[in-house]
Amino acid sequence: FHEAPSPFLQSARCYARPVRKRRKDFPSHLDDLPPTMLKKDYANVPIINSVDDVVKRLLSLEMASQKEKVKIKTQQLVEKVRRSPNDNGSFEVQVAMLTAKIRTYEEHLQKHPKDKNNRRRMLMDVDRRRKLLAYLRRVRYDVFENTCKQLNIEYTSPPAYSRRITKRWLVKKALCLKVFQEVRKLKAPERLKQRQEWRARARARAE
């Protein structure tokens, strides 16, 4: 026989219980994939139409992992920009594959914002995609425009020159300016003397 806890002790236990945070449901770029679609390895198998419904369900995206869904999404993006059925390495195809990886990384970082390793990989892929798009924009602008439109990419051209401003760089710049000004002050009398000589020669020629 256990004695019932007092109201004070019961409220204290509820207060000490950790509050579980609800995870937000972020929108995914894989939401448009129907769950009845077959996995990539079984989509083109001829015998797949004669198998049982339970087997079809096991081979569909309803039971697939995140990795298998990303494969199908990557294939869909590649089909949008591919030049020919055998095109697997053009700049457009590389941009499509990188876009699928970047969007997967973005969704992962929304749920796990402290994952620095995947953030570094995403930034590396973003930099690679930017270089590929910059090349297409410079060489074949029509292909670049179609690729951005099909993959829903908003391309912003980088600045002509960008540099990370640090405290050390600011101190170095201030020192260089100060040295330049001091040198100008030291050379000012010499420059004034040269100007006077040039003016005297010009007057002599004019006379």
0.85 exceeded by the pTM?
A: no
CA neighbor of 67 nearest in space, from 111, 101, 116, 31: 101
The rounded percent of the chain whose pLDDT value lies above 90 is 45
Using only the alpha carbons of the chain, give its radius of gyration: 33
Whether 26 and 107 have beta carbons less than 8 Å apart is answered as: yes
* Domains in the chain: boundaries: 40-151, 165-206
Give pLDDT tens digits for 125-158: 999 999 999 999 999 999 999 999 999 998 887 7
Non-local (6+) Cβ contacts of 78 within 8 A are 93, 96, 97
Give pLDDT tens digits for 164-205: 788 898 999 999 999 999 999 999 999 899 999 999 998 888
CATH superfamily, domain 40-151, is: S15/NS1, RNA-binding (1.10.287.10)
Please give the pLDDT value at position 99.
Answer: 96
User: d(Cα 141, Cα 152) in Å, to the nearest integer?
Assistant: 16
Identify the three-state secondary structure at position 38.
strand
Mean pLDDT throughout 55-81? 83
